[in-house]
Amino acid sequence: MSSENAVQRPAAENAVLSARHIVKTYGATRALKGVNFDVHAGTVTTLFGENGAGKSTLMKILAGVEQPTSGTILLDGEAVVFADTNDARAKGISIIHQELSLAPNLTVRDNLFMGRELRNALGAVDYREEERQSRAVLSELSNEIEPLMLVSDLRLGQQQLVEIARALLADSRILIMDEPTSALSATEVDVLFHVIDDLTSRGVSIVYISHHLEEALQITDYAVVLRDGTMTATALAKDIDLEWIVRHMVGDDFDLGSPPSGYDFGDVALSIVDVSVADPRDPNRLLVDHLSLDVREGEIVCLYGLMGAGRTELMEAVAGRIPLAGGEVKLKQHEVSKLTLRERLAEGLGLVPEDRQRDGLVQTMTVGQNLSLSSLSGFVRGLFISRSAERKHVNEAIQDVRVKTAGGAAMIGSLSGGNQQKVVIGKIVSTGPDVLLLDEPSRGIDVGAKAEVFRLIAGRARAGLAVIYSTSEVGECLSIAHRIVVLRRGRIAAEFPPTVRKEDIMASSGEAVAA
């Protein structure tokens, strides 16, 4: 623990890329509050931090995706401004996003030269030269990828290597990788780390973001920790350990509530028995692997796990959105595995999806129409929807989940993220379910709205609702959940009571090893 409070600043003179006093504001929110950040030639620098700490914002600024509100970026000691990503790439900085930006219908070669195709004397694309260069760069990374393979035929890890090859072809000296290992298998991670070693030995600098702390610590030379838009610590990796990172990452917590108490759980409301879900791209790979879990009436279970641990797949399979590869789902001892999502919802099993823009809301409709969408059949009088019955339902739901809105007739797009999320929850809750599954209910909403959402869920549980919610922020496990279930590679890695330490949760998820 040599570096207890030492914000060690490695010598700045050999930094290839430096960010000085970077501030980034979105409206009234300060995402970055004056961050200093250095990248040294031929090293790996890892940014640690929870969701919302500002890691991605900082990386976007360094890669030219966004402009800082104030502050300077120094490249080789000289101040630069990146107009856009192409400009940054031309100056030697490439970013590889979490979501890959390849065209799956094209070949590896065409992807590598996308947007800057080589021309021959006649002005046509010089495929032969492109192929030669592709082969040369690919041979350094992998001996499995051929220039003429279709990207859609490649595994995810291989696609990532293609992205890296594209950056190398552009002569990038600095490569930013945002969560590169989240979707990779263990062997693919090994390959990637090998490539990173190789790149750094050739003088390429890597900026790395990962939630797999342990894994990141293996390969990094420098560790930088961000919290709430401020750099809280920086150190040489050899001087620190995981506990140091976790301590600087987590900080003090906002109170997100405590498990509702003072009542006994009822009968088992939901029984997940030996459930498996196959990867649609590779039916032999199980995203959820023979998992069993019971939830009682009034109980709140938190599902924690890293990206790719199988949380979303488990919830969607239980709700009936994606098929089970095996096992069964019982609602109050009553088998529902054969029912459609609609039928399961009618039986009292509701799902609040993860991505509210894509899966939760109909943007062309009003707040009220969104809120009543799942319970419309209840207001039919004769042939038609009773407007007064619907209005009553909508107004009750708005009050019940405390949506801040001008009224049911307001367009859904006029609401803030937190209020939109409450609409999605209110829509399902107002069908009167016995079991509620919430996939990352706190994603993309601010801390005040998070607390409200959790309070809402806790109130429902007290009234007998069985709840499973998932989260990727460890602080949110230790809020209203009676039980914390940690998923890892599709299986339950551990179960904890609400008194558990964060470090233990992170350790069992594969994120970090408890000190």
Partner 1 sequence: MTDSTVRTRRRNPFAGLSFGAMLLEARAFLALIVIFAIFSLLAPTAFPTLSNIVVMCQQVSVYAILSIGMLVVILDGGIDLSVGSTLGLAGMVAGLCMQGIKFGSVVLYPSVWVVVIIAVATGALVGLVNGILVARLNVAPFVATLGMLYVVRGLAELSTNGLTVNNLDGKPELGNTGFDWLGFNSLLGIPIGVWVLLVVGIAASLLLNRTVYGRWLYASGGNMRAAELSGVPVRKVKVRAYVISGVCAAIAGVILTSELTSAGPTQGTSYELTAIAAVVIGGAALTGGRGTVRGTLLGAFVIGFLAAGLTIVGVSAYVQTVFTGAVIVLAVLLNGIQYRRRRSAAKSETPAPPPASSEPTGDMTARSAAEETVA
Which residues, 361 to 380, sit near partner 1 by CB under 8 A? 361-365, 369, 372-374, 376-377, 380
User: Is 255 one of the binding residues for partner 1 (CB under 8 A)?
Assistant: no
**DSSP conformation class of 439:** S
Q: Give the DSSP H/E element, type plus range, for residue 483.
A: strand 483-488
CB of 107 or CB of 509, closer to partner 1: 509
Q: Does 13 bind partner 1 (CB under 8 A)?
A: no
Which CB sits closer to partner 1, 26 or 263?
Answer: 26
Q: Which helix (H) or strand (E) holds 96?
A: strand 93-96
Q: Which of residues 58-87 bind partner 1 (CB under 8 A)?
A: 60
The full DSSP string for 27-88 is TTEEEEEEEEEEEETT-EEEEE--TTSSHHHHHHHHTTSS--SEEEEEETTEEE---SHHHH
> Under rule CB under 8 A, which residues in 283-302 are in contact with partner 1?
none
Query: Under DSSP, is residue 464 helix (H, G, I), strand (E, B) or coil?
Result: coil
Ramachandran bin of 198, using left for φ above 0, alpha for ψ from -120 to 50, beta for the remaining angles: alpha
- Taking CB under 8 A as the binding criterion, the range among 104-112, 129-137, 277-285, 417-425 that sits at the site for partner 1 is 417-425
Nearer of residues 254 and 263 to partner 1, judged by Cβ: 254
Residue 418 binds partner 1, judged by CB under 8 A: yes
Is residue 402 a contact residue for partner 1 (CB under 8 A)?
no
Question: Judged by CB under 8 A, does residue 51 bind partner 1?
Answer: yes
- Kindly state whether residue 407 participates in binding partner 1, applying the rule CB under 8 A: yes
Contact residue for partner 1 among 6, 254, 258, 497 (CB under 8 A): 254
CB-side neighbour CA atoms (13 Å) of 171: 2
| 483-488 and 300-304 beta bridge pairing | parallel
Nearer to partner 1, 71 or 444 (CB): 444
Decide if residue 102 touches partner 1 (CB under 8 A). Answer: no
Q: Is 406 in the site for partner 1 (CB under 8 A)?
A: yes
| CA 2/CA 515 separation, integer angstroms | 16
Kindly indicate which of the ranges 131-139, 281-289, 330-338, 358-366 contains the residues binding partner 1, using the contact rule CB under 8 A: 358-366
Q: Decide if residue 432 touches partner 1 (CB under 8 A).
A: no
Contact between 410 and partner 1 per CB under 8 A: yes
471 binds partner 1 (CB under 8 A): no
| Burial class of residue 4, CB neighbours in 10 A (0-12, 13-18, 19+) | exposed
* Backbone phi and psi for residue 109, each to the nearest 5 degrees, phi listed first: -60, -45
User: In the structure encoding, which two tokens stand for residue 320, read together?
Assistant: 């009936």
Q: CB-wise, 1 or 28, nearer to partner 1?
A: 28
Among 414, 432, 501, 515, binds partner 1 (CB under 8 A): 414
Q: Report CA dihedral (76, 79, 82, 83) to the nearest 10 degrees.
A: -150
> By CB under 8 A, what part of segment 308-347 binds partner 1?
319, 321, 341-342, 345-346
Nearest in space to 318 (alpha carbons), one of 356, 273, 360: 273
Tokens of 230: 């401020």
Q: How far is the CB of 332 from partner 1 (least distance, A)?
A: 19
Q: Could you say whether residue 448 binds partner 1 (CB under 8 A)?
A: yes
Stretch that binds partner 1, among 111-119, 144-152, 157-165, 402-410 (CB under 8 A): 402-410
User: Is residue 431 a contact residue for partner 1 (CB under 8 A)?
Assistant: yes
Q: Which is nearer to partner 1, 103 or 376 (CB)?
A: 376
Q: Least distance (Å) from partner 1 to the CB of residue 2?
A: 30
Q: Please say whether the beta carbons of 44 and 204 come within 8 A.
A: no
- Residue 413 Cβ, how far from partner 1 at the closest point, in Å? 4
User: Among 135, 330, 443, 455, which residue sits at the site for partner 1 (rule: CB under 8 A)?
Assistant: 443
In the complex, least distance from residue 16 CB atom to partner 1, rounded to whole angstroms: 25
* Residue 491 binding partner 1, by CB under 8 A: no
Crossing angle of helices 127-141 and 156-169, in 10° steps, is 120
Minimum distance of partner 1 from residue 33's CB (angstroms)? 8
14 binds partner 1 (CB under 8 A): no
Reported for 391-396, long-range contacts at CB under 8 A and 24+ positions apart, including other chains, are 393/430, 394/367, 394/368, 396/430
φ, ψ at 431 (rounded to 5°): -80, -5
